[in-house]
Amino acid sequence: MNSSAHRKALGQFLKARRAELSPRTVGLPETDRRRRVAGLRRDEVAMLAAISTNYYTRLEQGRLAPSTSVLSELVRVLHLSDDQRDHLFELAGKEAGRVRRRAPQKAHPRLRTVLNELSVAPGVILGRHLDILAWNPMAAALFGTDFAKVSQQQRNYVRQLFTDPAMRTLYADWDDSARNAVAVLRQQAAARPDDRRLADLVGELSVQDDQFCQWWGGRPVVPRTGGTKVFNHPVAGELSLAWDALTCVADPDQQLVVWSAEPDSRAYEGLRFLSSWAATPAMNS
């Protein structure tokens, strides 16, 4: 295709992707007013990408060749997958688009909304490499960690499992939890063999922990997305909690992991006590 045909195809791609997304998907409020077009409006995409509506309109009309920085913003705003990102850059004639440099993940608004509604159940949003993207106060209380004080680069569930000695005491069956985490990472590594950050994480943990190295190189284990875990909490005592991992439909690279207990059970009362303890000034000082 010539440059004019590429620009036209680029515009069609943007228009089609825009139609697939709802305001809620990208964190915009939804109103009761009926929308004249499916998906997002042009002005909404332009606003989120910090460009003018006129500029974005000309992109969709195939009248303009976008810069690399604008393309990167559109990748973020339109929640494009790696393959979609590469295709977008290819249509724009930008070689840099073929280099898979992932932007830092952010918790999806839908998952964050659900997480914020959890008052007694601990919950975290995990992204690629099991990075901890968001958490509620109950999760911080359960794991005894102020995640806000941990740098974004270090805020990783697997790293915490293998490098924080308290985790080995907290989990009654630490080996099982750690093996499952390794299985998830192996699954991701198989799907993304060129993921440099994942390779760095695996290399770091292989050097620091012999068990991680052994399990990584051993027989593959099928990761689970639910079950029951027993925690030996230093304040709330023994907590037998069901756990579920809910995948985000809009971004399959994110999961909301929730630990819960049946109402009126001993574990539920333990969570209620933990909730009260977490809310005290002494715990938060």
DSSP 38-83: SS--HHHHHHHTTS-HHHHHHHHTT-----HHHHHHHHHHTT--HH
Spatial separation of the C-alpha atoms in residues 89 and 67, rounded to whole Å: 10
Confidence check: pLDDT of 73 > 90: no
Per-residue pLDDT, 284: 41
Per-residue pLDDT, 273: 95
Give the range among 3-7, 173-177, 251-255 with minimum mean pLDDT.
3-7
Share of the chain above pLDDT 70, in %: 88
Minimal CA–CA distance to 113: which of 18, 28, 48, 225?
28
Per-residue pLDDT, 99: 45
pLDDT tens track for 135-159 = 999 999 999 999 999 998 899 999 9
Band (pLDDT 50/70/90 cuts) for residue 196 is: confident
Band (pLDDT 50/70/90 cuts) for residue 12 is: very high
Q: Which residue has the tokens 């958490």?
A: 135
Within 10 A of 29 (CB to CB), how many other CB atoms are there? 6
